[in-house]
Amino acid sequence: MAPQRRGAPKAPESSGVAERRRPSSMKSARAPREVWRKWLRATVLGVCATLAALLLWGSLGSDDGVTEVLAHRSEVLLGRFIEVPCSEDYNSHRRFEGCSPTRCGRGVTDAVITRDEARRIRSIAEKGLSLGGSDGGASILDLHSGALSVGKHFVNLYRYFGDKIENIFSEEDFQLYRDVRHKVQLAIAQAFGISASSLYLTKPTFFSRINSTEARTAHDEYWHAHVDKVTYGSFDYTSLLYLSDYLDDFGGGRFVFMEEGANKTVEPRAGRVSFFTSGSENLHRVEKVHWGTRYAITIAFTCNPDHGIADPAFT
């Protein structure tokens, strides 16, 4: 019998299966590591997101360096006054005995202007600013000079609108404005122990309306720290009458007295008057407004009669 021809020996089937199974077993070994990496990545991203949210909340709900609230919005203050050492800013200006600051400080009161008066005087600002308004977040209305923010510029509302002004404002509006100015002047004189008759209204005295719109010009960047006596040489005493409520009408926008390691903040409240000597002992700024609209009026006084201005007149 002829010998049978045999083919080449076949590799055991099990070896092919093993070869095919090896990558699968390696994937199985890597799977837990991949799951771990994904979990770790997700955890890290989650922690980062949480930290970012906390930082954002902190930037909206508080302010860098603010360590003490001088006046809470929920308080009704008959008067709170803090005396601070006077700066040397006044030495480079003509001094007036019995008026130029020798006792410096800052005060807050809710007992000078009523909330109803604040509501009524705010309506004056709203009516005037309805004629224009800045393209950015800060609009100005000055009833003395007539300056009104319109777009990226200012116009003189008395010349620009002419007789139409009589349809916007009334004599009662201007009388209320004068009455409020007089009450604030008396409060400042009493707090600093000077005669009210030695104080003269000075420029600029103006309404401000601030919202969260992005700044378009340098005039919209209200949040920078500054010294009033340096910015406006005529200022000796500065006051602000707030016409809207912090956290009810707007967020952010608090007034901050800047001191190293101990900044003090005033939370606006309609009818609240904040006042202070205008030198660098009261370096200050306003927080950015994050939502809503903040109304206020800045009323400034000088001891120099040459820098005084008259109350605005309706006719």
pLDDT beyond 90 at 38: no
> Taking residues 24-33, what's their average pLDDT?
51
pLDDT beyond 80 at 23: no
Angstrom distance (rounded) from CA 286 to CA 266: 10
Dihedral sign computed on CA atoms, order 274, 276, 278, 284: negative
185-207 tens-digit pLDDT:
999 999 999 999 999 999 999 99
> Could you give the 3-state DSSP secondary structure of residue 93?
coil
The residue with greater pLDDT, 10 or 224, is: 224
> Taking residues 80-90, what's their average pLDDT?
97
pLDDT at position 15 is: 44
Report the chain's mean pLDDT, rounded to a whole number.
86
pLDDT beyond 60 at 67: yes
**Pick from 229, 293, 283: nearest CA to 258:** 283
> Taking residues 57-84, what's their average pLDDT?
77
Q: Are 298 and 238 in contact (CB under 8 A)?
A: yes
pLDDT at position 40 is: 55
Residue-range domain boundaries for the chain: 67-307
Report the DSSP pairing between strands 289-292 and 138-141: unpaired
* Opening angle at CA 258, ends 78 and 268, nearest 5: 40
**Tokens 């092919």 identify what position?**
16
Angstrom distance (rounded) from CA 142 to CA 299: 11
pLDDT at position 87 is: 97
> Could you give the 3-state DSSP secondary structure of residue 230?
helix
pLDDT at position 262 is: 80
Question: Which of 7-11, 63-67, 110-114, 174-178 is the least confident region?
Answer: 7-11
> Taking residues 70-91, what's their average pLDDT?
97
* Per-residue CA distances from 262 to 47, 69, 111, 124, 213 (Å): 31, 10, 27, 36, 30
pLDDT at position 41 is: 61
> Taking residues 173-189, what's their average pLDDT?
98
pLDDT-derived band of residue 33, with 50, 70 and 90 as boundaries?
A: low
Q: Could you confirm whether 294 is annotated as catalytic?
A: yes
pLDDT beyond 90 at 11: no
Q: What's domain 67-307's superfamily in CATH?
A: q2cbj1_9rhob like domain (2.60.120.620)
Angstrom distance (rounded) from CA 253 to CA 291: 9
Choosing from 181, 209, 269, 294, which is the catalytic residue? 294
pLDDT beyond 60 at 28: no
Q: pTM of the prediction?
A: 0.80
**Pick from 178, 164, 240, 168: nearest CA to 207:** 240
pLDDT-derived band of residue 315, with 50, 70 and 90 as boundaries?
A: confident
> Could you give the 3-state DSSP secondary structure of residue 149?
strand
pLDDT at position 65 is: 56
Angstrom distance (rounded) from CA 98 to CA 81: 20
**Residue 109 burial (10 A CB sphere; 0-12, 13-18, 19+):** buried
Backbone angles phi, psi at 270, to 5 degrees: -55, 125
CA 142 to chain CA centroid, Å, is: 20
236-284 tens-digit pLDDT:
999 999 999 999 999 999 999 999 878 999 999 999 999 999 999 999 9
> Taking residues 116-142, what's their average pLDDT?
97
